[in-house]
Amino acid sequence: MPGLPGLRASDQDLDTRFANDLHSQGPNPDGLIEILNRSQAIVGYLVPTHLRQIARHLHLPDSRVWGTASFYHLFHFDPPPQHSCLICTGTACFVQGAGPLLKQLQRDGVAQRLKQKGIELGTVRCIGTCGGAPLAVIDGEVCNHQNTQTVLENLAGLKNIAELAL
Partner 1 sequence: MGEKEPMGLRLCTAAGCRNFGSEALRIALNGAISLSGLNRKITVKGVGCLGPCGEAPVVAIDGATPRLYGALQPCPAEHLAEGLAAAAAANDLESWSPPGSRAIDLNHPFFRLQRRWVLKNCGQIDPESIEEARQAGAYQQLAQVLQHGTPQAVVAAVSRSGLRGRGGAGYPTGIKWTAVASQPAGEKLVVCNADEGDPGAFMNRTVMEGDPHRLLEGMAIAAYAVGASRGFIYVRAEYPLAITRLRHAIGQAEQEGWLGALVQGRDFSFKLELRIGAGAYVCGEETALIHSIEGKRGVPRPRPPYPAERGVFGLPTLINNVETFANVPVLLALGTDAYAGGTKVFSLTGQVRRCGVVEVPLGRSLRSIVETMGDGAPEGHSIKAVLTGGPSGGCVPAAKLDTPVDYDSLKALGTIMGSGGMVVLDDSTNLVEIATFFMDFSREESCGKCVPCRAGTVQLHGLLQKILDRRAGPGDLAQLESLCQMVRDSSLCGLGQSAPKPVLSTLRHFPGDYQALLMPEACP
Q: Which residues bind partner 1 (CB under 8 A)?
A: 28-34, 36-37, 64, 67-68, 71-75, 89-92, 94-96, 99, 124-133, 135, 142, 144
Reference 74, options 122, 30, 118; nearest CA is 122
Rounded to a whole number of angstroms, the minimum distance from the CB of residue 137 to partner 1 is 9
Give the residue with the Cβ less far from partner 1, 106 or 112: 106
Distance CA 66, CA 77 (A): 10
Nearer to partner 1, 39 or 114 (CB): 39
Minimum distance between the CB of residue 9 and partner 1, rounded to whole angstroms? 30
**CA Rg value for the chain:** 19
Query: Which CB, 2 or 131, lies closer to partner 1?
Result: 131
Give the torsion through C-alpha atoms of 88, 93, 97, 98, to 10 deg. Answer: 10
Report how far residue 22's alpha carbon sits from residue 41's, in angstroms, rounded to the nearest whole number: 12
Cβ closest to partner 1, residue 29 vs residue 44: 29
